Amino acid sequence: MGREPTAAARRWVVKIGSALLTDEGKGLSRHSMADWVLQLARLRQEGREVVVVSSGAVAEGMVRLGWESRPHALHELQAAAAVGQMGLVQMYESCFKRHGLHTAQVLLTHDDLADRQRYLNARSTLRTLLGLGVIPVVNENDTVVTDEIQFGDNDTLAALVANLVEADLLVILTDQEGVFDADPRLHPDARLIAEAEAGDPRLLEVAGSSGGNLGRGGMFTKVRAARLAARSGTSTVIASGRQKEGLLRIGRGEAVGTLLRASEGHMAARKRWLAGQLKVRGELALDEGAVRVLREGGKSLLPVGVTRVDGDFRRGELVSCRAPDGSEVARGLVNYGADEARRIRGLPSDRIEAVLGYVDEPELIHRDNLILID
């Protein structure tokens, strides 16, 4: 029986660990990377969008600098990452170029995703790249992070990127077959868990927490990443990167590795998050036409339907939408800050650029970021 979530997934985030990209610690393996790129290119040909979260920069930098063991000092790790990024990006670019595909390097820090404005900017950039048919290659910006703000492993980064682009599927490739019901190194009779709910607490108990000498994450971080990805409705496959054509087999819906299912889809997860976890930062007063469109048409909120803007909010924050009688109609994430919203209220969307000098989105609140209040 096939796996419908993997076969139907259109937008993927694929995380490839250091052990799968390097030649037993001797730097990047061109043969291995060419094989991964071939599979990713074939996924693109099938009409899927792909974001790659790639390890390997520190490992490549270590080889270029002649270091045999991973350093512990932060500044040495940053130096290795800076040197290694050059080789990592060059190799990805040359491999993808053979298939007529453009790539883009995207370096992220925790601050980029913790700050709402920078989060939205990163989200817009990644979505634009995907829309252009470009394959983003994402890594943590190791050259500038500190111990206090680093992600700590690319599994967590991959999950956050899956949240960022609202991926259908997160694939975490490792040197293990998947998640077992016990540590297979200690229990030879341990069995592979084929499928489970990402939020099942038993998974963390059996996952363990060891990692290799090149990477930072073990199976524990991968299970934790799957739980994080599930918050935005993304299912996760944790599988061995040693299997021939593993990504293509996953795309065909074959039972490869462990599938950790999200309990709800993108929209349900997003609406629940909007309803219960954000603080309202301002209010938009709507005319009767806008109220009717929201309640009956399931449409986005355009500036033309707004009569008044109250509060001091920034782009991406939650605002309340109210009818002429003062009753709350909806809540949503606003695409413009309060000052900008005041300048464009009551105007048709084709006037936004003339008034502000730019246009971010034609809607004040997109319908995907809006929930109705009963």
Q: Where are the beta strands (DSSP E) in the chain?
A: 11-16, 49-54, 103-108, 135-140, 169-174, 195-197, 235-240, 258-261, 280-286, 306-311, 318-322, 328-333, 370-372
In a shared domain, residues 121 and 229: yes
Which residues contact residue 352 at a Cβ distance below 8 angstroms, ignoring those fewer than 6 apart? 303, 344, 359, 362
Name the domain boundary from 253, 270, 287. 270
Bridge partners of 308, per DSSP, are 285
Domain hosting 340: range is 278-372
In a shared domain, residues 266 and 284: no
16 vs 245: CA distance, rounded Å:
14
65 vs 56: CA distance, rounded Å:
14
In a shared domain, residues 113 and 200: yes
Name the domain boundary from 210, 235, 270. 270
Token pair belonging to 214: 């090149």
Token pair belonging to 360: 């971010």
In a shared domain, residues 250 and 297: no
In a shared domain, residues 233 and 314: no
In a shared domain, residues 266 and 361: no
- The pLDDT profile of the chain, 374 residues, written as one tens digit per residue, is 568 778 899 999 999 988 888 877 678 889 999 999 999 999 999 999 999 999 888 888 888 998 888 888 888 888 888 898 999 999 999 999 999 999 999 998 877 777 777 888 888 899 999 999 999 999 887 666 655 445 557 888 999 899 889 899 999 998 889 998 887 777 888 899 999 999 888 888 877 644 444 444 578 889 999 998 998 889 999 999 988 999 999 999 999 999 999 987 766 666 666 666 568 899 999 999 999 999 887 889 999 999 999 999 999 888 999 999 999 999 988 999 999 999 999 999 999 999 999 998 899 999 888 888 86
In a shared domain, residues 122 and 175: yes
Token pair belonging to 368: 């995907």
Measured on CA atoms in the order 213, 215, 221, 222, is the torsion positive or negative? negative
Residue 82 near residue 115 (C-beta atoms within 8 A): no
With left for phi above 0 and alpha for psi between -120 and 50, is residue 234 left, alpha or beta? beta
Long-range Cβ pairs for the range 62-67 (8 Å, 24+): 63/25, 63/26, 63/27, 64/27
In a shared domain, residues 291 and 260: no
Instruction: Please give the tally of structural domains in the chain.
Output: 2
The structure tokens 């270029």 sit at 64
In a shared domain, residues 264 and 289: no
Q: What is the pLDDT of residue 278?
A: 66
Q: What is the pLDDT of residue 203?
A: 86
275 vs 316: CA distance, rounded Å:
15
In a shared domain, residues 172 and 139: yes
Cα 194 to the chain's mean position, in Å?
24
11 vs 47: CA distance, rounded Å:
9
In a shared domain, residues 174 and 311: no
In a shared domain, residues 228 and 349: no
Question: Parallel, antiparallel, or unpaired: how do β-strands 280-286 and 306-311 relate?
Answer: antiparallel
* CA distances, 269 to each of 265, 275, 276 (Å): 6, 10, 11
Name the domain boundary from 218, 248, 270. 270
Instruction: State the CB neighbour count (10 A cutoff) for residue 12.
Output: 26
Task: Name the DSSP letter for residue 368.
Answer: G
The string of DSSP codes covering 290-334 is: HHHIIIII-PPBPGGGEEEEEE---TT-EEEEE-TTS-EEEEEE-
CATH of the domain at 70: 3.40.1160.10
Query: Measuring CA to CA, which residue among 10, 32, 361, 313 is closest to residue 167?
Result: 10
CATH of the domain at 355: 2.30.130.10
Q: What is the pLDDT of residue 2?
A: 66
Question: Parallel, antiparallel, or unpaired: how do β-strands 135-140 and 49-54 relate?
Answer: parallel
- Give the amino acid at 100: G
